[in-house]
Every structure is written in C-alpha cells, then in structure tokens.
Structure 1
Amino acid sequence: MKKIFTACLTVLSVFSLSATTPQTDGIVYKDKTKRFTVVSDGLVRMEYAPDGKFNDAPSFIGYNRSYPKTDAKVTDDGKNVTITTSKLTLNYKKCNSPFSADNLTIVSAEGVKPFEWKPGTPQKMNLEGTTRTLDWWNGDELQWENREGEWCTRPGKLDPGVLARDGWTLIDDSRGFLLDDDPVIPWVKKRKSKKGAQDFYFIGYGSDYKGALKDFTTLSGKIPILPRYAFGYWWSRWWAYSEHEVRQLIDNFKSYDIPVEVLVIDMDWHYTDAEHGGWTGWTWNRRLFPEPEKFLNYLRDRNLKVTLNLHPASGIKKFEQAYPQIARENGVDPKTEKDIPWVSSDRTFINSVFDHILDPMTKEGVSFWWLDWQQSLYDSKMDSLSNTWWLNHTFFNKMKNTSDARPIIFHRWGGLGNHRYQLGFSGDSYTTWKTLEYMPYFTSTASNVGYGYWGHDIGGFRALPGDSIIDLELYTRFFQFGAYSPVMRTHSDKKVHLNKEPWNFDRETLNLIRDAVKLRYRNVPYIYSMARKTYDDGVSICRPMYYEYPETEEAYDYKGQYYFGDNMIVAPVVSPAVDGYSKIKVWLPEGKWYEESSGTLLDGNRVYERTMAMDEYPVYIKAGSVIPHHAASVDNLRSNSAPLSISVYPGGDGEFDLYEDFGDDDNYADNFAVTKIRSHREGNTLDITFEPRKGSYREMPSKRDVDVKIHATLQPEKVTVDGMPVEYTYSPEELAVVVDLGDYDCAKGKRINMVFPENADEADGTIGSMHRFVKAFGKLKDKYAELEVNEDFGTMSVIYEMLEYYPTESRERLFTFRDKFSRLKDIVAGQPMPESARKWFVKAVGL
C-alpha cells in the first residue's frame, strides 16, 4: 500500500485545510420517498426513491458523501418543506410521486441574481464545457475525408458545462454508475434503484460562477495538483526514435539550452509490426531499446520523467511477454494462444494487466501513462460505461493508492467527474491558424467542468492536405501560447515535414522557442501557486473573463482572451503578421493593467488594438501585482530550493501567497507552506514585506536564494533591507531595480524599503520603444551595411548603455529618447541611407 509521510502543520492563509473542517452528511429532510441533502449553500441533492431505498454510495459525479456543515434552515408544516440557504430557497409540496413542477420549486435567495427553477424548466444559456477529443478539428469545425475521397466539414460541438447565464444548473445522476469501497480502485457498480427513481443535483449561483465551481467540486471531488515537473516543458513526437536517437535528442536540448522536464515516447516504444501487435502493444521493442531498464535509468539520471503511450483496445495477444500469466488469471489456457480481449469493467483482467505489465514497468522507471483510448466508446460488457471515463479512473486511482509519487495520467476527457484525473490530451488537431485561434477558448471553457489541465499538441498534430512545410510563424505563436497554457507540450504526426525539433529551424525561430520555454520555467512559481488555488476552490488557471465580470457583456464577447491565474490576462496572437507585426484586440476590465511586452500601464474598461512583434506577446498584469518567478538560472523543476525572483509591478498595492510543497508526493492536502508577500506604495516610498513562512512539508528548505525586482521605474535614492542600507542592480532593458536578498531565511520574514525620486514610474511604453528601436537598429545593417549614423539616430541605439553608464541622468536620457522616438519618422528621413532602408526601418519599429 501507499506510504504516507506525515508532518505537523498549522497554516493560517487563504489556502484551506479541508482535513480540519467539520463534516456532515448534509441530510436535512427525509420521508418515505424523498430525501434532501444540502451539499453547500448553492448545491442541493434531491432524491426520489419509490421503494424508500436511498443511495449513499459514491457515484461517478457525486463522488463525495460528506460535506462541510452548511447553515441551512428547514421548516416543515406537515404539508410543505422549505429549505433555505444563503443562495437559494427550495419549496417541496409533500407527496409520494416523482419530483415535478407541481411539487418542487427552487428560487434564488435575496442578494443573488434572480433565478427560478422547476423540474422540466429548460436551461437556455449554457456556457459550454469541453469534449472528449479534438481529433480532426480545424478550429471550431471538424474536417475529414470520407471513403469517397470527399472533404467533409461540420461544426464542432462541446458538451454542456456546469455554468450557465441562467444562474442555475441541474445535473441528473439518476442513472449514473456507482463505486464500491475497494481501497485501491473503487470499482464500478450499477444502481439498483426502482424504476422511476430520481437523483438530482441542483446548483444555484446566479452570477457567482466561481462559487458554483467550488460547490461542484465539494460534491464531485477536488481537482488534484499536478506534480511540479508537469508544469515544465514536455517533448513529444510520434516517431520511431531509437535509444541512441533519444540520447542525441536529450544532448541537443542541453546543447541548445532548452529545458525539458518530461519525455513522451509514443507507440514505437513497443513492437508495432503486424507479427507483434501493431497499434496495441505491451512489450518493449528491443530492436530500438535493447535494455529498457538501463534506458529508463539513463533518463532518471538526467532528471527526466518519462511517459509511454498506450492504445489498449486490442487486448493482450499471444506474442506479448506477459501473455501466459494474464491468460491463466483470466481463465484461458496459454497453449490455445487465444486473444485476451480488453474489457475495462473486468476487475480480474485490469488487475492482471497492472500486476504483470504496468506495475513492473513503473518500478523500472516509467513515471506515468499516456492512455490514448480511441476505439469503442463504451465497455463491451457493461452497458453505457464509457471506456474513456472508466480507464481514466482506474489508472489514476491505481497510481494514487499504490505509489509514493503524486498521481498523474495523461488522457482524453471522459465526462463529468473526470476532473479528478486531472490532465487531458486534447487530440489530433490540425496545424492551422484556425486551430490556434480556437485553442484559447477551448482551454478556458473547459474550466466550466473543472477540466482545466490540458496538454495540447503545440503547433497542431496533422497538416491539411497540401501543407508540406511547417509555418514557422504559426509554430512560434503556438509555442508562446503554450507558455501560458496549463501544460506546455510539443507533439506532431509521424510525417517527415512535421519535425519540430527546435534546432532544425533558423536561428531566430530557435531563439523564440527557447525564450518561450524559459519564460514558462520563469512563471512556474506563479503557476504552481495558482494550481493550489485550483485544488482549494475549483477554479482552473486558464479561465474565461466572465468568472470575474459576469454582468459585463465584453466578458462573454471576447472569447479568445482569458485569465491566466488571478493576476494575468492573456490575449493570444492568433493571426499572421503584416510587415512584422500582428494585430490583436483586447478588452481590459476595470482598473489598470500593465502590458508586459511594452511596459505600458493601460486604463481598464476599454478595448485596445495593439501590435505585437514576433518576440512580443500580449500579457496584461493587474496593476500593483506581486508575482513570484523563478530566477533565470532555473532550468529544471526538481529542486525545492530553486532560486526565486519576486516581481513587483507598477500601479498600486499588491500581495501574493507563494505556495510550496514537496512537488511529487500526494500529501499536499495538509503538508505545504505559504509565504505572504505584500507591497505598499505611499508617495515615493515602496515597502515590500515577506511574512514568515507558515507550514511545513517534506524536505522543505530553511533558506531560499531570493531577489526582488521592481518593474518600470527609475533608480531609487535609497534601499534598505530590515533597516540596513543595501546595494542594488539596475536592468536598463526592463527599467527594473533588482535587490538581491541573498540566502534568505524563510522563517524570519523580510522587509525591503525603497525611496524613489518624484514621478519615478516609467510605465508609459518606453520599455517597448527602446526594445523595438535597438532590435531594428541591429538588423538595419543587414539591409544597408555601409550605414554611418548621424547624432540623433546613433545615440538612440545605445540607450541601454547610457542608462547603465550615467545612472544619475536616467530621467533626462529617457526623456530625450522618448522625444526622439516621437519624431522618429523625421529623424529617419534625415539619416543618410537608401529610401528602401528607411521604409524598412520605420516598419520594423512598428510605426
């Protein structure tokens, strides 16, 4: 059985400790045929049992049967029962018949956006959920070639979600499967309810979408945190790599300074020829991997996690190494060489597969499984049992309950309740701009069913007919979106022209890909802290704008942008550039927002049209935010003590709860630590406070190497740490002050005080203007090598060096640069060079 690590912990923070919350069964009323259970303020279970036999077993959707106590008021006058919570009022007219509009009504409570529901009321404005797979999707359409060779198209359709603008949702679980109490894999069982029985879950929320998701996960289970390594970069490709080629691949990642955390080996890890299996296989292909255990040891020594692709549908055939044992355990004489069919609902068969194939490979070093079920949607023995749903459940729970490692499975969406098996593979979409345009909406909308962790095929999987090369601009923009996705994973079809190994591209594309991967690693402390909030509250890291602004139409209209955690809005580039710049349109809600690419503080409640160069990406950070990053030196996620850099953005006060745990165990519910970081601006003074860390976890470091970075500002006049004067460094490219706290004792806290000159903020776009000018100036000589610059033009190219060499003159130097940039067309007109070079330069800087 699973080993348990225990630690004493007391944490007072925004992160909840569910283990310490008093629990109740929630039952508030019961008679001969009816039972009402208050799961939470906004969620009520309503059961009708004609024979008086109610169900207490967990179901696929109703996974939890014990809930935090809710302050619900119940009145019973003998004829009517009224249940009142802070979000809704339920009225039931006593009878022995099924629930109907004649005997049941639920209305919103005072202060909640009005709704009224009776059985049979249609929901009109569902906000959608997700779908099992994006195989053959091109954007929001399916496109495929039929048997006659005709190209067919039809609209794609997502499953309904838990949320709707109606303000309520009904989940009918009357025929849903139940689970037994097996401690390793709770097994499926059919309901034995009498005909006509009803088992309803009503969620009433008005416009409190986030509250509805919290209520749903209270009923259906929390969204587990991925292992920390899963938030790094994954390399995946459908390709018959040999072990030697894999070693070369890993060496190339290191040589080109591209971090990689997870290696995905597609189906060619096993024999695929007709004599040994084809699509389904369970035995290592020793033609390519002569000593699998040594190969896995090699990967582990390089701190790589590895997952193998499984297509289980064809079962176990005679040529598999484990065939004799599995045949005997399933009543087949191995001498007959009879195929053992795959039956997901057969407990004996599934346990045999784990015992004789998967568990031994896990012990050898396979980190987790990519379960790629594509065949029959339903089980061959149990009617209506989804193979996808059930296999996700079995594989995840097997790892959860028998391994020390944090459970993870990579798989397709199986339906409501699958959020408990947290990471989805979205399938084989096309390598098109339409695909990229759809992905942000698809990813954020999936959070409406709690299924927020997706690992898309960066760049798309398959090419459309006639596409014979990779569109490097599309691929780069897809990569940049991947950096702000739940999981960053490359994948592609088994085609020669879809080789996405970064070093096969030109230097500029390689650099942009590397930058995107490194940006991802930089953001992991922020992402990981948001993953804890997802676990606690049921709100995924990529979420629609209407979660925060449910009464604002723009929040629904701008479907392509999304919140990335609590502090960032991302509006991905999803169309090709014109003259080197792509246009995006973004709606920024109330408040102020810092555009990271340009260093501009923008007013909210407005729609903006912005342009983005290839090395720029539309990320908008809430003014005043405090955001934890990894230091630039961090190129893997295995260490609990990796250096941190805490960014403080202009525009106001902010705070952040930095979350930490061991990273790859399953004890994080109670074993974790939180450091609250606050920033407060008053006049020209900025105070940044690190409160003493609270909590503990396995192998928690006592000290961390930490620096603090203040963005978009002039140099300070004075900096102190805990009252003592300290030195700082200044980054001209970012106009950022960096204070190194050194080996910081996390238990003691820290206070940084900075005094700035008057009007020190530089969040007016100068950062972006400097970057564009210096970059274009460097490329100008490729257009006109004989360039001899005049005074105005030349001095603009060394603005970074001027800021470094003359720190006391920074304000004047920046003023001069801004003035010249505002007159740049005239300056360029006076610069001796061919007219073609002038035109090119003006476009290159985005004018």
Structure 2
Amino acid sequence: MHATTESRAGTDAAARPEAMVERGDVRFTVLTPRLVRLEWSAEGAFRDGRTQVVVQRALEVPPFTLSEDGRFIEIDTGQLRVRYEKGTGRFGAANLAILVRRDGNPVTWNPGDAQKENLGGTYRTLDRYDGDTWQDGSKLPLEDGLIARDGWHLVDDTDGFGIDAQDWVTERPAGERQDLYFFGYGTDYRAALADFAAIAGPQPIPPRFVFGYWWSRYWNYSDEELRTLGARFEKERIPLDVLVLDMDWHTTPGLSLRPGHEHEDVFGEASGWTGYTFNRSLFPDPEAFMRWAHGQNLRITLNLHPASGVMPHEERYEAMAKALSWDTSTQAPIPFEGASQPYMRALFDTVLRPLEAQGVDFWWLDWQQWPESKSHPGLSNTWWLNHVFFTEMERDADRRGLIYHRWGGLGNHRYPIGFSGDSVISWTSLAYQPHFTSMASNVLYGYWSHDIGGHTFDKKIPRPERHLDPELYARWMQLGVFSPVLRTHSAKEASLHKEPWHFGPPYGDAIFAAIRLRYQLAPYIYAAARAAFDTGVSIVRPMYYHWPEHDEAYAYPGQYMFGDDILVAPVTVPAGADGTAPFPVWLPPGLWYSRDGAESFEGGKVLARSYTLGEIPIFVRPGSVVPLYPEGLHDLSTPPDCLILQVFPGEEGCTSLYDDDGTSQGYRRGEFATTRITSWRAEQVQRVHLDAMRGDYRDRPATRSYVVELLDAGIPESVEVNGEPLPYSAEPKPRTWLFDAAWLCIRVDLGPVSVDEPQDVVARFAPEHAPPPGLLHRMRRAGDAVKYLKQVWGDISALPDDVNLAGQAARVLAYAVEEGDDAGRAERFAAEVRRFEARYAALPDSVGATPIDDAFKLGFAQMLGR
C-alpha cells in the first residue's frame, strides 16, 4: 500500500518543537488556544506518529506562557490554564487541573470528572430502529460528541492503533501511558470542531454527483429491468445520478446450509451474502450494462459483504489464490481478514480492480463482518475497512475517495459517506432522523445517507397491511432534499414501491417537487461541502452551533441549519383532517424570511403554524444570496452554464460561489475558484454585485450566464447592469428583466458574461409600489383552498367569480404587469394587488354564501389558514 492524502506530509505527525513542553515522564503540547495534548509515559516514551484519530499535529503554535517552580508547571494560552504537579506521575484529580475561561462562567476540569451535558455524537447504524428505539425496546446507544454544554471535552487516544507510512495499521504502543486531548471551548462549539479537524483531518468533499438523486432498492434487478427503469426516469424528466445495485448482483452458489442456520458459513458469520461474481442470469454482459449506465451519466455502486472471504466458485478465485500462494487443491474458501495487508492487496488487485475496470465507480460496504479484526483485537472492522477502501480509491488516478458504509468511530469522518441502515418505516423514524443527522456533525460525520422512506415495516404489522403511506414518503423525500445525501431504498417487499411516478396527486406532485428542488439547490449544497472541508462545520448542523446561549436551540432537535443561511424544520407529523400539519418552529433572534422571500418573521420566539403537503418550513437569513441551478437538469456530472442567484430581502448579505472540477483531489491542492456576491437593499434601491471569479481549476469556464432574482421586490422603475439600462420583457431573454408574478420577484437575465469581469445589478423602486407583506403566501393559500373546493364539491359552477379569480391571483397579476405601456406597469400591479386583497379578505363570506356543505366550508377556511 502506498501513501495517500492522509499522509502526504509524511508519517511523522509530530507537533512543532516549540509547542511541546516535556518534563521527564510527561509532555504537554499546545495545539490551539483551546486544545492541549496531555501525555504521560512510565518509560518517558511519547508517540509522534499518526493514529486512527489524530493524523496531524504540526499546527501553527499559538501564543502561550510557561511558568514553573520546584513543584508546579503551569501553561496558559489565554483560553486555558493547565496546572500540573511535577514528578507525580499518571494524570489524576490530585495532580492536574485545567481552567477553561469562558464569559462569566469559568470551569475547572480534573481527570476523572464526568461530563454531564454532552450533546451527542452518532452510532454505527439505525438498523431495525423505530426512531431511536430498537425492536426489543432498548434505546440507541449513541456515542458522545466532541462538544458539550459543560464547555469541555476529552478525547482519550491512549489505546488508538497507529497508521504507518503505507497507511497500514500498527500495534498500540506498549507500556503504561496516557495520551489525552483536552478541548476547552466554552460555548464556541464551531471552534472546537475546527480544532478537531485540524488534528484529525478535514471532511473530504465528495464527488459532485454524490449530491444528486440515488436510486436504490433491495431487489433482484436484471439488466433489462434497470434499463427500463432508467428510461422511465428519462421519460418523467426526473434527474438521477447514482444507481445502486444491492446484493443480488452477484452469485452465491454452492452453499451447504443447515436448516435454521441459513445465515452462517464455515466462519460462523452471515452467509449467502458475500460475492464478487456477476449473476449472469441477471446481467449476461456486465461490462455492456455498465457502459450503458455510464452513457446515461449514471454512477454505479455495488453492494459488498466481505466477511465470508473469497469462495471457490468466484471467477477470480484462482487469481486471488495465486497472489496469496493459497492451496486451491481443497477448494477451500480464502478466509477474510481486513487487517491483513497481503489479503487486502490481493483482493483489490485481483478481484475488485477488474470489476472497477468494467465500470464499478465505488463500493457499498454493507453489514456483516464481525465487529473486530481477528488479527488485531480491538481494531473495529468497520473503522478499518472504511479507511482501507477509501485510501485505496484515492490512489487511483487522483480520484476522490468515496465509500458507502457505516460509522466506525472517531476519525471515520475522513471516509464519507455513511449508510445508516435499515430503519423502520414510521413517522417516528422520520421524526428522529433530522436530529440524528445534525447530531452526527458533533463528530464531524457530516454525510449520513438514510434510506429515504424507511427500509422495512415493523414486524408486528401483518404482511397484508404493509403499505407505504404516501404522505409519509412525500414528507421523507422533503427531508431528503435537506439531507447530505438523497437516496431512496427499501427492503425486498413487493409492496414497497418508491418510484416517484407510483404516487398520484398530491403526493406525487410533492415528491417530484422535492427532487427538482434538490437539484436546484446543488450549487448551494456544494459550496457548503467546501465550507465543511475548510471549517469542520457540516452541511447539516444543530441550531446551537449558531445560538449556543439559547435553551430553545437545544429544545427543538427536529430543526437545523442547512449551510449558513437556511433554517429547515422538515414536517415529520401527519396532516389533520384539514390537510395541513401543525409544526412549531423556533426562530432564533432576528428577522427571517420564508423560502420564497415573500414573508418575514421576527425571531426570538416559536412560530406556531400549519403546513400543507406542498409546504416545507424553510427560513432564510435576511440578505442571503442563494445560488441555484435552473430546472431541467438530467444529472450533476457537468454543471449547467447558467446560475440563478436568489437574493432575499435584507439590508445586506453575501455569499461565495464555489467551483472545482467535481471529481479529482485538486480541491485539496488549491485547484478551485470562488466568486463573491454581495447585496445591499435600501428603501428605493437594491444592488447586487458579482466579483470576478478568483482561482483556477481544470475545465474552468470562460463565461457563465447569470439570472439574478430579487425576491419580494415589487415592480421597479428601472433596472440596470453595469450602468446600462435593461428593457422589460414578458419572456425570459438575455439582457432584459421581467416580473415573475408566481414568485413576486424581479428576474434579471444577464446572459452569458465573462467570469473574469465583475457585474453590478441595480434596481430602483418607488416605495408606494412595494407588495404588502405576506402577499405571496396569501396568494398560494387561496390557490390551494380553491383547488380543494374543486376536488371535494361537484357543483363548482356555483363558485362566485371573485373566488375563481382569487384562486389564480398570480396569473391575474401577470396579465396586469405584461399588458399596457411601461409607464403604468407599477400602478397596474398595485391596483390588481388591492383587488386581490379585497377578494382574499372576503373569501370565507363568499364561499359561506354558497350552498356548499358546512364541512367543506370549514375545510376551505382551514386551507386558507383562517
């Protein structure tokens, strides 16, 4: 095995000499103002090499003071004060104390102190958990996170295995010793995560296609069925990036299993699951199948369960045996040992590389192997296989590493992405997953991939009653939009169909909309992935990262920040009889805008509101600039040459577009580009400025088309770009602007422009023509309510004209804006808005005067939110 990106600085991960204070059998290393390493060794021997958790210590040395006398040594960083009694040996409560300075509430830590308010980390799997409860009633045994309300955390690396120059495991050091990392951060949680990333390595950026839609189902698909499935995705215009083949892709013949022991083999492990040879009855020509998939810009991942070794029926058995000098005369299986360097080298070279040459893009390392290595007791097989597969992939032609496996413990954040396993299909599971996902960021594990929609039914549900609730699935897909990875999956049950076209309105509409929104948000998500690499703060993160002093930030675990600017609270409860789901959301202090920018909310309190199936509680910071891709993408393999910049109301805001080649490790070497965008808004003018692109990378574009959307802006008196006035157009055209009545926004089309030249967009307004607050929300609720009446009441011809007109307010407003001369456009818009507001206010009375059943009238009023 050869060195990879983890070890390019060399195998020695020693801190700089000036950061270390060594006195006999103890050594203290000041890594950051908030992070100190504490070592004691009875032999006075200290470890400088890489470990499973820590791969780098040569950080810039922060200022600190050192003072000592005949009895004590004291190190002070300004944030921490470490005091140790010299010559007293092993660290304990009697000889070591660390003061953590934090505003108004300093804390003193001594070895052995129990942490009282750890904020949680993650766990290797959600297999068979209904929410956080297993089938026997036990709770998910979450590991601790790196942060706690106590203001400190201790990472004990004493028993961590080492990693050598070939990226291979080494034994733990012998002798009596302690190797501790003390983090003291108060409430600065993000600083603690940054400190951990500095010594444990950053979260890698996955290939860009990872952020698209993954199709997965535990099903014995054939080549023809998958081609038919792909054609249907194409026909329905549903984008797709990854095709997952579960374990039926391979053969498992020749197994002699005893009744009742169908899942055991000669090694006493799960069997019938390991395989490396394509099932030719399903895939007559695997290479041709994968050529077709790649021709559709689909990436392929295959499921592996490696614990049973390599069986004699495998096509590559002889080659593997030859590489290991294995006696094939008995036709015995070649036993698995992931910590055996010869075994893994032979497995990659003779078995897996040939499959990759045929077209496999990355591997899904599924459940099965025993918990620990047999050759290295205490070494987690999950952790180790994550490391080995990921680093092996990064050796291959500068490809980004990518695996798909469960969490193995601290340090596994370096090997994305996670597979959370076979969760139970229930509203309880859906409600738990936002909390589980955001909490994993407390150990930098920012890329959990869940079985969207759940995997399997509770075994207590009779088989004839096992049907996927379409509302539950639609809401789960909405969570998937705002998850690190959007991947549907399910158990091998004929009733579990998750194809989007399987669901009729309104559920299918919500599912399709969710997938489209995911692809639109891809540039925002990709920039957040870069930020996670740079800062240690994951895409999905808890509210308390940003508002640690507010108890509410801890009390609403079902909501989270998605990147820096978007707050998401996925609805995880079913709708009531009125078709809406009540879902309270805590809005942090300050002003927040709805996803469409048309409603503002003063934070610092709980917003109690109900949501229709098509509504997701999404809130955006004032002034935010959210980059989007246009609708109609087929996949994320090649970014479109057009970007939409949604600019939210607010005095000022900024963002940074992020670009790289999407596939290589060049981003680690500085091969990327950024474009800073700022916005300012006053009463009568809004300005958006795009800086020139900075940086370079492979395939960097020379030009790009931009569409700037000014949300909740009303009708402008003028729009100009770089000082040049733009004309109004009723249809999208380069170098024009239009007003989109469906979003109540100005859309400025810059057309293709040089990325090396700045762009300045200015819109000027007359204040009296600004739309009233909440107008778009009222328009959409009116449309939903009228649609509801048409669905439940047969005699729709009896609806008053004002009800029909209120139900299509956006179209009426569009006609008012588009028709007539330019000079009167703002006045026509304002007049039509006043007419809508009058109709909207009168809607309950207008409908109440009709002979509609009272139950329908009540439903109508509830849809309006009255």
* Partners of 2:419 and 2:679 in 1: CA distance: 39
- Note if contact 1:227-1:663 (Cα within 8 Å) is conserved in structure 2: yes
AA of the residue aligned to 1:569 = L
Separation of aligned partners in 1, 2:243 and 2:783: 38
| Contact 2:596–2:711 (CA under 8 A) maintained in structure 1 | no
What amino acid is aligned across from residue 816 of structure 2 in structure 1?
A: Y
Is 2:239 the partner of 1:259?
Answer: yes
> Does structure 2 conserve the Cα–Cα contact (< 8 Å) formed by 1:626 and 1:677?
yes
Shift of 1:193: 2.8
Between the aligned partners of 2:453 and 2:208, the Cα distance in structure 1 is: 24
Cα distance in 1 for residues equivalent to 2:687 and 2:112: 57
Q: Residues of 1 paired with 2:4 and 2:416: CA distance? A: 21
Deviations 1:771-825 (A, max 9, x none): 1222332453342245144342233133222211212222222233223323321
State the one-letter code of the partner of 2:857. Answer: R
Q: Which residue of 2 aligns with 1:776?
A: 785
Worse-superposed segment, 727-736 or 486-495: 727-736
Is the 1:641–1:703 Cα contact (8 Å) retained in structure 2? no
Q: 1:334 to 1:775 in 2, by over 3 A?
A: same
Q: How does 1:793-812 map to 2 (within 5 A)?
A: 793-807=803-817, 808=825, 809-812=828-831
Asked whether the equivalents of residues 102 and 185 of structure 2 are also in contact (C-alpha less than 8 Å), the reply is no
Output the CA distance in 2 between the equivalents of 1:483 and 1:381: 42
Partner of 1:249: 229
CA distance in 2, matches of 1:312, 1:68: 42
Structure 1 residues 85, 815: closer, same or farther in 2, change over 3 A? farther
SS in 2 for 1:82: strand
Task: Give the one of 23, 38, 48 matched to 1:46.
Answer: 38
> What displacement does 1:500 show?
1.2
Does residue 498 in structure 1 map to residue 490 in structure 2? no
2-side partners of 1:250 and 1:72: how far apart? 61
Q: Which residue is equivalent to 1:123?
A: 115
Distance 2:788 2:3 in 1: 58
Q: Please give the secondary structure, in 2, of the residue aligned with 1:720.
A: strand
Higher mean C-alpha displacement, 397-406 vs 207-216: 397-406
Q: Greater RCO between the two (CA within 8 Å, min separation 6)?
A: 1
Instruction: Give how far 1:827 is off.
Output: 1.7
Residue 170 (structure 2) aligns with: 189
Q: Distance in 2 between matches of 1:110 and 1:128?
A: 21
> Could you tell me whether the CA contact under 8 Å between 1:583 and 1:612 is conserved in 2?
yes
Once the two structures are TM-superposed, the CA of residue 123 in structure 1 deviates from its matched residue by 1.1
Distance 1:633 1:509, change over 3 A: same
Partner of 2:481: 483
Q: Which residue number in structure 2 is paired with residue 109 of structure 1?
A: 101
Displacement of 1:749 in angstroms is 1.0
Q: Could you tell me which residue of structure 1 aligns to residue 420 of structure 2?
A: 426
TM-score by length of 2: 0.92
Does residue 591 in structure 1 map to residue 583 in structure 2? Answer: no
User: What CA distance in whole angstroms lies between the structure 2 residues aligned with 1:472 and 1:110?
Assistant: 49
**What is the CA deviation profile of residues 237-296 of structure 1, one whole-angstrom value per residue up to 9, with x for unaligned ones?**
000000000000100111111111111111111114555972110111111111111111
Residues 108-128 of structure 1 show CA distances to partners (whole Å, capped at 9, x for unaligned) of 236585221111111111111
Task: Name the structure 1 match of 2:566.
Answer: 568
Q: Determine the C-alpha separation between the residues in 2 that align with 1:469 and 1:101.
A: 57
**CA 1:412–1:793: 2 relative to 1, 3 Å:** same
For residues 222-241 of structure 1, the aligned pairs below 5 Å read 222-241=202-221
**C-alpha distance in structure 1 between counterparts of 2:723 and 2:499, whole Å:** 51
User: Matched residues in 2 for 1:96 and 1:361: separation?
Assistant: 58
**1:148 is matched with which residue?**
none
> Is contact 1:313–1:373 with CA below 8 Å preserved after alignment?
no
Q: Quick check: 2:405–2:418 contact (8 Å CA) kept in 1?
A: yes
Equivalent residue, structure 2, for 1:662: 661
Task: Tell me the secondary structure at the aligned position of residue 141 of structure 1.
Answer: coil
- Which runs of 5 or more residues in structure 1 are unaligned? 6-21, 144-151
| Map of 1:134 onto structure 2 | 126
Q: Which residue of 2 aligns with 1:750?
A: 759
Aligned counterparts of 1:3 and 1:812: Cα–Cα separation in 2? 70
SS state at 2:812 partner: helix
Deviations 1:522-558 (A, max 9, x none): 1111111111110011001111111111111001111
**Secondary structure in 2 aligned to 1:138?**
coil
Select the residue among 200, 215, 218 that pairs with 2:195.
Answer: 215
Shift of 1:35: 1.2
Corresponding residue for 1:650? 649
Tell me how far 1:26 sits from its aligned partner: 6.0
| Superposed displacement of residue 598, structure 1 | 8.2
Q: Give how far 1:321 is off.
A: 1.0
Separation of aligned partners in 2, 1:176 and 1:580: 53
Letter matched to residue 778 of structure 2 = S
1:362 shift after superposition: 1.5
Contact conserved, 1:640 with 1:701, CA < 8 A, in 2? no
The CA distance in 1 between the partners of 2:853 and 2:118, in whole Å, is 59
Counterpart contact for 1:396–1:407, Cα < 8 Å: yes
Paired-residue identity, %: 40
More displaced stretch, 95-104 vs 707-716: 95-104
Cα 1:776–1:36 change in 2 (3 A) is: same
2:381 is equivalent to residue 387 of structure 1: yes
Deviations 1:56-112 (A, max 9, x none): 110011121322332222233353222222321111221151112222111123658
1:731, distance to aligned residue in structure 2 (A): 1.0
Q: How many angstroms apart in 2 are the aligned matches of 1:33 and 1:763?
A: 71
What SS does structure 2 have at the residue aligned with 1:671?
coil
Distance 1:236 1:459, change over 3 A: same
Residue 631 (structure 1) aligns with: 630
Residue 36 of structure 1 aligns to a residue whose secondary structure is strand
Comparing 227-236 and 778-787, the one that deviates more: 778-787
Q: Is the 8 A contact 1:257 1:514 kept in 2?
A: no
Encode CA deviations 1:329-377: one digit per residue, 9 max, x unaligned.
3342112111111111111001111001111211221111111133411
Which is further off, 816-825 or 652-661? 816-825
Q: Does the CA contact (< 8 Å) of 2:742 and 2:811 recur in 1?
A: no
- Tell me, what secondary structure is at the counterpart of 1:235? strand
Quote the Cα distance in structure 2 between the aligned partners of 1:142 and 1:456: 17
1:8-50 Cα distance to aligned partner (Å, 9 max, x none): xxxxxxxxxxxxxx98466321122111112222111111111
Q: How many residues align?
A: 819
Correspondent of 1:737 among 743, 746, 751: 746
The structure 2 residue matched to 1:396, chosen from 356, 366, 390, is: 390
One-letter amino acid of the structure 2 residue matched with residue 189 of structure 1: T
* 432-441 vs 398-407, which moves further: 398-407
TM-score by length of 1: 0.94
Q: Does 1:344 align with 2:342?
A: no
Q: 1:677-724: per-residue Cα shift (whole Å, max 9, x none)?
A: 000112210110001111111110011111000112211111000000
Report 1:498-647 matches (<5 A): 498-578=496-576, 579-596=578-595, 599-647=598-646
Comparing 131-140 with 765-774, which one deviates more in the overlay? 765-774
5+ residue gaps in structure 2? 6-13, 257-270, 728-736, 818-824
Alpha-carbon distance between aligned partners in 1 of 2:863 and 2:597, rounded to the nearest angstrom? 15
Comparing 282-291 with 84-93, which one deviates more in the overlay?
A: 84-93
Question: Which residue in the other structure is 1:814 paired with?
Answer: 833
Give the match for residue 68 of structure 1.
60
Letter in 2 for 1:404: D
Q: Is the 8 A contact 2:306 2:369 kept in 1?
A: no
**Does the Cα contact within 8 Å between 1:25 and 1:65 map onto a contact in 2?**
no
In the other structure, the counterpart of 1:717 is: 717
**Residue 603 of structure 1: CA displacement?**
0.3
For 2:693, the equivalent position in structure 1 comes to 693
Q: What amino acid does structure 1 have at the position aligned with 2:758?
A: G
CA shift in 2, pair 1:700/1:86, >3 Å: farther
Q: SS in structure 2 opposite 1:436?
A: helix
Q: C-alpha distance in 1, partners of 2:335/2:18? A: 43
Q: Tell me the secondary structure at the aligned position of residue 174 of structure 1.
A: coil
Mapped pair 1:308 → 2:302: yes
Cα distance between partner residues in 2 of 1:488 and 1:598: 25
SS in structure 1 of the partner of residue 749 of structure 2: strand
Paired amino acid for 1:388: T
Please tell me the root mean square deviation across aligned C-alpha atoms, in Å. Answer: 2.0
